[in-house]
């Protein structure tokens, strides 16, 4: 089917781009460069080994220095253990089975640790992730086959627009406590959907709360088990925790991003460790290890008798490990069978422990950030899919500009909202922002349908404060400077801190250090963020509150909120060029992080060339939120 062929072609372009940028990073770079790029841990120390599934061994490693460097090692990723003694020869590949803090477990494709592990220092390299691409390609091929079969693959046909979604007669659900009318309507839509329901959740509208109640309702209607997935570990963690908090039996496949005890107790590893049959496995593994140790004693020159003896010991160890495999499988099947909700990332939903399972309902959260090919992995396990997200916030990260432009950035959520408006419920009441902060976003993105809940609508930092300010730097001579592929504006950064210092002085009259408001400083540009972080240290009036201030890119704040948000727009030039500020969805995310006060600092003569920003500045004027930076400069 043309639909899937096009997606496969786009995915191929993306994979090639991804691979070439990975190779560029790694081929000629030193260990230190790779470590700085988050692709390598070096040096690492071995903290333990144990026999693993099949004839593999799992080794636990700890990074012993450079612990502050962020990294990309994740559960399920391909990695290699290497020795600096001869990094080309001395390396062995495997899969990351666990990662938390500065520890990682890798299942290596061998049954014993190679001798070179005792030579030189060891490290771990992250390998290019072909596995995710393979999973996505296989899913697209399977979906394509289903879409052509008469009488089969109804869900595939609905999602690609060949058939219409159907709904059963509306069930009279009991009024769910704590849900507003649009949330209740979303739950009812989900329960009555036969194949597709969509929850469109703008910022702060309680999308997660709604999904949790819908999942509980489906279970109370007789569904034995649901699969709940999202593109990121963080989103999966949030849902897993909330669902478990409602008393459901949740099994988290994969490795949580946040290492809280509550989350860890939901993982397969943790539940296996507590299983009654685990004692048998420990005993068997110990026996297998003993046989292997005995076999390893025959290392020096030995004759046929010793060779036979060594083989017999290895055979015995393998036989025991087969029994271990069977017992482990029994435990996994038992735990998976009893779970009411299984949670995983999109690609993790095809993990070997649940690969063969089918579900009536699959829930995909944060579907606005999910790459469509990845969504097909869990969809193939379902009769019915619930998509939840907001296509007016950040779209998926795509490496290839060509693939993005040709349609890979168009998510399944967007397509289905256009194809099947009857399946969509918009959550209309938000619980985060003062009304003035919400209104412009609501006008542009949500057809003016967003309402602020009474508890937040008029919420201010202090009486008579202005909740929305646009501070115009036009004519101040704050010029942008290109830095590599990014942009920076040092004068604007300095002005922002001056403005914040003045605000902090005002807030000191209303708050103590303990209950002081939280503050986010965001910019779309990485280079501007680096500059802001550098400058942050040099403002004496802010030192007391450093733990209340977070400075980061807009993308890293998706899903978060703060009392006060500053946006440094950075761009200021005579040509009116705004680069990727023209991605107004990113701006929507930035503006809707603020609870009580939003301050946007930018040059109107540059920004107002784009209608979105021209209208935003007009909106600020209408609500008396427009100020000129000259007013502040003149005060000095």
Residue-wise pLDDT tens digits, 387-436:
999 999 999 999 999 999 999 999 999 999 999 999 999 999 999 999 99
Of 353, 295, 336, nearest to 97 by C-alpha is 353
Q: How many CA atoms lie within 13 A of 330 on its CB side?
A: 12
Asked if pLDDT for residue 549 goes beyond 70, the answer is: yes
Confidence bin at 300 (pLDDT 50/70/90): low
Report the predicted TM-score, pTM, of the whole model to 2 decimal places: 0.91
- Give pLDDT, residue 119: 77
Of 429, 427, 397, nearest to 197 by C-alpha is 427
Q: What is the mean pLDDT of the segment spanning 227-238?
A: 94
Confidence bin at 301 (pLDDT 50/70/90): low
Q: How many CB atoms lie within 10 A of CB 364?
A: 25
Alpha helices in 193-303 (DSSP H): 207-220, 233-245, 261-264, 268-273, 278-296
Of 376, 348, 402, nearest to 20 by C-alpha is 402
Confidence bin at 453 (pLDDT 50/70/90): very high
Q: How many CB atoms lie within 10 A of CB 347?
A: 23
Confidence bin at 634 (pLDDT 50/70/90): low
Q: What is the mean pLDDT of the segment spanning 352-376?
A: 96
Burial degree of 541 (CB within 10 A; 0-12, 13-18, 19+) = middle
Confidence bin at 151 (pLDDT 50/70/90): confident
Percent of the chain whose pLDDT exceeds 70: 98
Query: How far apart (Å, rounded) are the C-alpha atoms in residues 503 and 461?
Result: 11
What are the pLDDT digits (tens) for 37-92?
Answer: 889 999 999 998 887 776 788 999 999 889 888 888 888 889 999 998 776 788 89
What are the pLDDT digits (tens) for 558-578?
Answer: 889 999 999 999 999 999 999
Contact between 585 and 557 under an 8 Å Cβ cutoff? The reply is no
Query: How far apart (Å, rounded) are the C-alpha atoms in residues 588 and 340?
Result: 36
Q: What are phi and psi of 159, to 5 degrees?
A: -70, -25
Of 365, 421, 356, 411, nearest to 388 by C-alpha is 365
What integer best gives the mean pLDDT of the chain?
Answer: 92
Query: How far apart (Å, rounded) are the C-alpha atoms in residues 211 and 221?
Result: 15
Contact between 317 and 341 under an 8 Å Cβ cutoff? The reply is no
Query: How far apart (Å, rounded) are the C-alpha atoms in residues 131 and 580?
Result: 31
Contact between 606 and 572 under an 8 Å Cβ cutoff? The reply is yes
Q: Report how far apart, in Å, the C-alpha atoms of 204 and of each of 1, 119, 207, 562, 588 are.
A: 39, 54, 8, 12, 12
Q: Tokens 């830095």 — which residue?
A: 483
Task: Find all residues with CB under 8 Å of 403, minimum gap 6, and list them.
Answer: 10, 11, 13, 14, 17, 409
- Give pLDDT, residue 580: 85
Q: What is the mean pLDDT of the segment spanning 141-163?
A: 93
Query: How far apart (Å, rounded) are the C-alpha atoms in residues 200 and 177?
Result: 21
Asked if pLDDT for residue 373 goes beyond 70, the answer is: yes
Q: What is the mean pLDDT of the segment spanning 256-268?
A: 85
Residue 143, classed as helix, strand or coil, is: helix
């Amino acid at each position: 089917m043309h639909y899937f062929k096009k997606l496969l072609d786009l995915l191929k372009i993306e994979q090639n781009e991804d691979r070439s940028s990975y190779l560029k990073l790694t081929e000629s770079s030193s260990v230190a460069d790779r470590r700085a790029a988050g692709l390598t841990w070096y040096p690492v120390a071995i903290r333990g080994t144990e026999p693993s599934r099949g004839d593999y061994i799992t080794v636990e490693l700890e990074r012993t220095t450079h612990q502050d460097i962020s990294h990309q090692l994740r559960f399920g990723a391909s990695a290699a253990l290497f020795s600096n003694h001869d990094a080309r020869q001395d390396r062995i590949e495997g899969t990351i089975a666990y990662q938390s803090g500065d520890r990682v477990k890798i299942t290596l494709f061998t049954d014993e640790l190679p001798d070179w592990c005792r030579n030189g220092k060891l490290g771990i390299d992250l390998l290019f992730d072909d596995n995710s691409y393979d999973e996505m390609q296989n899913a697209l091929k399977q979906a394509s086959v289903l879409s052509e079969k008469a009488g089969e693959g109804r869900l595939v046909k609905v999602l690609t627009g060949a058939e219409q979604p159907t709904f059963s007669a509306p069930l009279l659900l009991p009024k769910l406590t704590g849900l507003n009318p649009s949330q209740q309507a979303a739950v009812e839509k989900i329960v009555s959907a036969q194949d597709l329901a969509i929850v469109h959740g703008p910022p702060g509208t309680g999308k997660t709360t709604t999904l949790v109640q819908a999942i509980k309702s489906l279970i109370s209607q007789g569904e034995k088990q649901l699969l709940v997935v999202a593109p990121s570990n963080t989103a999966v963690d949030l849902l897993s925790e909330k669902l478990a908090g409602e008393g459901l039996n949740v099994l988290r496949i994969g490795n949580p991003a946040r290492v809280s005890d509550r989350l860890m107790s939901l993982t397969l590893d943790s539940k296996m460790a507590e299983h009654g049959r685990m004692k048998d496995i420990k005993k068997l593994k110990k026996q297998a290890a003993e046989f292997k140790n005995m076999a390893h004693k025959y290392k020096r020159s030995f004759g046929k008798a010793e060779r036979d003896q060594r083989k017999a010991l290895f055979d015995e160890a393998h036989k025991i490990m087969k029994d271990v495999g069977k017992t482990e499988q029994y435990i996994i099947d038992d735990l998976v069978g009893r779970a009411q909700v299984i949670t995983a990332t999109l690609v993790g939903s095809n993990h070997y422990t649940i690969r063969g399972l089918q579900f009536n309902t699959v829930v995909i959260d944060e579907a606005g950030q999910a790459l469509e090919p990845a969504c097909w992995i869990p969809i193939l396990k379902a009769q019915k899919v619930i998509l939840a997200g907001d296509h007016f916030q950040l779209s998926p990260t795509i490496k290839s500009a060509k693939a993005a432009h040709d349609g890979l950035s168009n998510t399944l959520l967007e397509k289905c909202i256009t194809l099947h408006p009857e399946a969509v419920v918009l959550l209309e009441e938000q619980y985060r922002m003062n009304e003035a902060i919400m209104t412009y976003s609501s006008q542009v993105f949500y057809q003016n349908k967003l309402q602020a809940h009474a508890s937040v609508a008029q919420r201010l930092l202090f009486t008579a404060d202005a909740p929305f300010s646009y501070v115009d730097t036009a004519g101040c001579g704050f010029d942008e400077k290109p830095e590599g592929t990014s942009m920076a504006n040092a004068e604007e950064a300095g002005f922002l801190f001056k403005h914040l210092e003045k605000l902090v002085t005002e807030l000191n009259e209303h708050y103590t250090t303990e209950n002081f408001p939280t503050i986010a400083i965001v910019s779309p540009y990485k280079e501007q963020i680096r500059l802001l972080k550098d400058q942050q240290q040099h403002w004496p009036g802010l030192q007391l509150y450093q733990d209340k201030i977070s400075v980061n890119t807009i993308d890293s704040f998706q899903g978060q909120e703060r009392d006060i948000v500053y946006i440094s727009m950075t761009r200021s030039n005579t040509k009116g060029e705004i680069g990727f500020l023209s991605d107004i969805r990113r701006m929507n995310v930035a503006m809707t992080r603020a609870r009580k006060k939003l301050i946007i600092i930018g040059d109107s003569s540059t920004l107002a060339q784009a209608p979105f920003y021209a209208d935003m500045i007009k909106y600020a004027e209408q609500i008396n939120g427009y100020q000129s930076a000259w007013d502040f400069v003149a005060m000095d």
